[in-house]
Structure 1
Amino acid sequence: MCDRDGTPRVWVQPLAGHTGEGRPLAPVRFPYAQARFGPHAARVIDTGPEPVTNVLWSPDGEWLAVQVAPGGGEHTQVWAVRPDGTDRRLLAGPEGALARGSAVFVRWIGYGSTLLVAELAATGMTEAVLIDADLGNRDTIAAGPLMWPSAVSHDRSRALLRQGPRGMREMTVADLPFGRERLLLPPTTDLGALSPDGEVAYVRSNAGRDRAVLMALRVGEAPQAVAERPDAELDRFAVSADGRIALLVWNVAGRSELEVADLVDGGTRALPPPPVDVIGSARLSLDGSLAVLAGESPSAPSHVLLCDPATGSYLRVVGDEPLAEPLHAELVRFDARDGLELTGWLYRSAPGPMPCVIYLHGGPESQERPTYNPLFQRLLAAGISVLAPNVRGSSGFGRAFQDADNHALRFHAIDDVADSVAYLTGGGVADPARVACMGRSYGGYLTLAALVTHPELFRAGVDVCGMADFATFYALTEPWIAAAAVGEYGDPVADRDLLRALSPIHSFDRLSAPLLVVHGAQDTNVPVYEAEQVVAEATARGVPCRYLLFDDEGHETVRTANKIAYVEAVTDWLTRWFTE
């Protein structure tokens, strides 16, 4: 999946040593090098005009499962298309850009053409459906609120299901076709896979511990840790179709490290460091002899790497070359006012006190990592340094840190933003008179909260699809998002007073920083009304405000032209207020 022609689409790239159908001719052995193909070698697959959000080969190589976002919004559809671009057919999802509900593919089942799909209804209910791409047959195997299907055994006798809201998710196994469910593990995290026979579930979990590990679970037996590290969290994993090995991607203070776990004889072995900082996707070929990775670094755009799990050698096969002048991301550590250690990635435009922006990631159960960010590059070129902190509530540092902003503790996360400013100004990195704050999604909310809680610290602000009022957010967002958010933010009824106190819109009489507001008109995760009320309230109070609305984007900005417009708007806005 690549946006090389301006919007995310599906491309097929032939690989040296492989047939045109993608099947290996022989075991692949290679050093890290650049595989060079002419521009004619890669071909785009016609999946229609809508942006693509995900793609996955069927095990038999006969189909591509393609997920698209009609109108650029959040209500996705699942299509099947042949690898040559023919025989495109809609498998699941709403028809029309304005339809409610959504469909997301999870994985192919067994070795044929059956796809596991999660269908989210407008009511908030989710159905797990098996769909035959050849025949179009549909079989609903599970349904419920806040349910997500993780895997189905090859013989379709068992399903692995995730249940519950954010921070309180459990894994259950259901016997098919009657759906009798049994709890495998109390509150866990999101990822799960099944052995081919369905007897063993492999789950990324932090149950009973602070950091996420790989657990092996059998019904009625105590869980066993397959792989764990005291210095890292398991970020993602992939299990081979034959169930013999798992590829593990560890998050070590933001950077990625790889291991291979032997699921038959036990034990793990480390692979050599990948030639990138962050692995954002990891999949195994059908026989487990090849890993396909998406990797990036501050100086290297996301690209595709092949990895030989036997030797740990890497081959870059698709993607642009790294920047000619490397971009350095410095991992920094500093204390919050209550003594909690915080970390962040610092990008310096020049030595000495400089204009600086605090950039806050979304989530909050996400993490700022050393990835490729054109916005940061553009700001640095304009002489603006960037600190991207991981305030409390961020993932990657253990469960206690991730839960440290729940409910009333969120006031401490807001103070973490002020403590990030104190680190910059106290260390001579930032000019105290020229500090701005910005963020997207939850980071947009936290930006607004910081601007009204600590208005004396900031010269300007940028709110990108952030929440301004928890009451309107809960009322207007997707039902499943509202239900899942209760454990993180609070109940909209029982915790009404707390949520009002945490909502920045009710403290806009303290807003003084000029504000740029960016949103996508098709956003149903954080509805556009959140941006509209921010603009209205700021303007009514005489605060300088600009509103940048993208009609053809949702919660994420995916079209290249819009990305460029966004980067330039942010840079112009901050430069303007830093120089006035």
Structure 2
Amino acid sequence: MRQRDDVAVLPAFTEISSEIAGNWSPALSPDGRHAAYVSDRGGTPAVRVQPVGSDRAFAITFPEPVAAVAWSSGGGWLACRLTPGGAPRHEVWLVRPDGSDPHQVAGFGTDTAENMRWLPGRPLLAVTENLTHALLVDAVTGTRTVVATGDLISLCDIDPAGRFALLRQGPRGARRILCKNLLAGTSETIAPGELALFSPGGGCVYARSEAGEFPALIRATAGTVETLTTEPVELETFAITADGRTAALLWNVRGGESALELRTLDHVVPPASSPTGRAFEPTVGTTTRSVTVPLPGTVISEPVWSFDGSTLAFTAESPGQPQGVWACDRDGGNVRPISAEPAAPDAVRPTLEKVTAHDGLTLTGWLFTPPGGTAAHPTVIWLHGGPEAQERPGHGPLFQSLVRRGIAVFAANVRGSSGFGHTFVNADNGALRYDAIEDVRSCARHLRDSGIAGRLGVMGRSYGGYLTLAALCAYPDLFAVGIDICGMSDFATFYRYTEPWIAAAAVSKYGDPVADADLLRDLSPVHRLDHLRAPLLIIHGENDTNVPLIEATQVAESLAARGAPHRLVVFPGEGHDLLHRSSRAAFLQETVTWLTTHLSGDQRSRHE
């Protein structure tokens, strides 16, 4: 039998090319001296392994794009989440850090695998298939053990004794964290939320609770919940060292910028019965202190500790600065790049704008204005996906390309966006979606009334593509051009053809396809395309099974039947995201050409 112990085997490293690339999903070796991450430097996202502080790396490629990587606490394995054909279905593979012994462990056939996490100190990988089966994969023996089953579940953690599991359960916007007794089969709700883990000894649970207006870090024992953060801003995520003594807290502040805090966790509390039935195990008492990490970018994501707790890795990006991988020491000092590009010196940095909606609700958005001049600019409103995502002042090649051509961009956060509290993110659920559509008109009016915008366009991706179609049909005289990127056009066909786990999780946001059929039909732009007047560019990935291709083709067919100006661009080999750099370059060319043609009016259209 092939030796598969969890012991590190490192490769020979070579010089990194000077090609500009995006890098994300950092993972650290147990001692923090090496990093693995995903990079599109070669054109397709692949894993790279690199000594921290070196400019030499080793590439591990797969036949399909890689979305994420995680390093086992013993150092011997990398878990890689692959995206076959760019579609939402994921596979999980294990591979040695030197690229040897790659083999698939989850997401076989039509199944999909997500939420992979190495259990600290054990060669066990937690993973969930189809949001119905929570699994443990033993990297040494290759065995797969089902620890829990249910609808819309995802495995977060297993306690060190293997007696209790932390599960996320529920649809979007209504998820809760459960502690399941694997021996008795009983479950206890810890808090509403999505992220949780056990303390090192399993005596308590740390969780990102969504019980209040803003998410907070809590520490739970049986019958006792201690709120560790009370700041009136959004705690985006957290990571805790394997010894349980330091937490990295990632905050979402000032409309979408980031703050990264390292906080000492004082475990000296009165003994209490734990959720696992054991006494709460205090660590050595320390004085609680907090350190703010100086950030190399405006937007931070994916904080992760090395197993020994010496090093924290994270990603950082800014306008004109692609996503890069960085590290700092446990005290927050010595912030250094692992693989990152400097910001472009001529990049336009946005300003945060406030918009008053039709019902008095305050909306915000990031305004990218062409340099020089005070006259009104042709302007496009950009609408993000989700709808629970958030537009933030990170790297956006499209926005920079447009402002260089004299087109302003307003990246709006309409109701339903995350980052602004529980009430705001749920303000577009079900029949409240009409208000979100009205928010697009409120943004347009603000831009006009403020003298910012001349001619207006609107575009968006995924849910933002849906909102673009809805706004173009609801307010046909307001916009001169539109771009729909993999957006839904008909809720009935979306529910019929999307992946079943995606449909099940979406009911809480959009409505039930049977019980709310009349509402969903009225909200579907496909039934109002006769109102649409603006030239429309439609972009979609051929392999998209999140928002299936029919959502684009039925719009194009309807517009073609009426002779309405439009262009349909389908990217082969891509899914809901454009993962290949060549596709993203072609996308950029298509969108910039369409907008400069129909919004700036400085050239004749080559598409009509």
Q: Same fold (TM over 0.5)?
A: yes
Aligned partner letter, 2:243: D
Which of these residues, 412, 421, 424, is aligned with residue 447 of structure 2? 424
Give the drift of 1:177. Answer: 4.3
Give the drift of 1:564. Answer: 0.3
Matched, 1:52 2:29: no
Aligned partner letter, 2:101: D
1:371-392 per-position Cα deviation (integer Å, ceiling 9, x unaligned)? 1011111111222110001000
For the aligned residue pairs, the C-alpha RMSD in angstroms reads 1.4
Q: Secondary structure at the match of 2:418?
A: coil
Q: Secondary structure at the match of 1:243?
A: coil
Matched, 1:517 2:517: no
8 Å CA contact 1:215, 1:223 repeated in 2: yes
8 Å CA contact 1:75, 1:94 repeated in 2: no
- Tell me what 2:388 maps to: 365
Give the drift of 1:106. Answer: 2.1
Give the drift of 1:324. Answer: 2.4
- Tell me what 1:260 maps to: 262
Which of these residues, 220, 225, 228, is aligned with residue 226 of structure 1? 228
In 1, Cα distance between equivalents of 2:441 and 2:289: 42
Structure 1 stretch displaced more, 400-409 or 150-159? 150-159
Give the drift of 1:476. Answer: 1.0
Give the drift of 1:286. Answer: 0.9
Which of these residues, 430, 433, 436, is aligned with residue 407 of structure 1? 430
In 2, Cα distance between equivalents of 1:15 and 1:261: 24
- Tell me what 1:11 maps to: 48
Which of these residues, 337, 343, 348, is aligned with residue 322 of structure 1? 343
Aligned partner letter, 1:75: R
In 2, Cα distance between equivalents of 1:455 and 1:541: 16
Give the drift of 1:453. Answer: 0.5
Aligned partner letter, 2:58: R
Aligned partner letter, 1:43: F
In 2, Cα distance between equivalents of 1:348 and 1:195: 47
Which of these residues, 81, 88, 91, is aligned with residue 77 of structure 1? 91
In 1, Cα distance between equivalents of 2:328 and 2:190: 32
- Tell me what 1:195 maps to: 199
- Tell me what 2:58 maps to: 43
Which of these residues, 181, 198, 210, is aligned with residue 206 of structure 1? 210
- Tell me what 2:132 maps to: 126
1:119-157 per-position Cα deviation (integer Å, ceiling 9, x unaligned)? 11xxxx511111111221111100111111111122322
In 2, Cα distance between equivalents of 1:335 and 1:312: 41
Q: Secondary structure at the match of 1:131?
A: strand
- Tell me what 1:492 maps to: 513
Q: What are the within-5 Å matches in structure 2 for residues 323-472 of structure 1? A: 323-350=344-371, 351-431=374-454, 434-472=455-493
In 2, Cα distance between equivalents of 1:243 and 1:156: 18
Which of these residues, 304, 312, 334, is aligned with residue 283 of structure 1? 304
- Tell me what 2:120 maps to: 110
- Tell me what 1:215 maps to: 218
- Tell me what 2:161 maps to: 155
- Tell me what 2:572 maps to: 551
1:424-464 per-position Cα deviation (integer Å, ceiling 9, x unaligned)? 11111110xx2110000000000000000111110110000
Percent of matched pairs sharing the same residue: 45
8 Å CA contact 1:271, 1:309 repeated in 2: no
Give the drift of 1:495. Answer: 1.1
In 1, Cα distance between equivalents of 2:330 and 2:299: 18
The unaligned stretches of length 5 or more in structure 1 are 17-36
Gap change, CA 1:228 and 1:422, over 3 Å in 2: same
8 Å CA contact 2:320, 2:397 repeated in 1: no
Give the drift of 1:278. Answer: 0.7
8 Å CA contact 2:177, 2:195 repeated in 1: no
The unaligned stretches of length 5 or more in structure 2 are 1-37, 268-286
Aligned partner letter, 2:43: G
Q: Secondary structure at the match of 1:457?
A: coil
In 1, Cα distance between equivalents of 2:228 and 2:116: 23
Q: Secondary structure at the match of 1:518?
A: strand
Q: Secondary structure at the match of 1:456?
A: coil
TM-score by length of 1: 0.91
In 2, Cα distance between equivalents of 1:119 and 1:88: 20
Matched, 1:238 2:275: no
8 Å CA contact 2:206, 2:220 repeated in 1: yes
Q: Secondary structure at the match of 2:487?
A: coil
Give the drift of 1:522. Answer: 1.1
8 Å CA contact 1:6, 1:560 repeated in 2: yes
TM-score by length of 2: 0.87
Structure 1 stretch displaced more, 148-157 or 357-366? 148-157
Structure 1 stretch displaced more, 438-447 or 304-313? 304-313
Give the drift of 1:228. Answer: 2.4
Give the drift of 1:348. Answer: 0.4
Q: Secondary structure at the match of 2:88?
A: coil
Give the drift of 1:105. Answer: 4.4
In 2, Cα distance between equivalents of 1:542 and 1:211: 49
- Tell me what 1:28 maps to: none
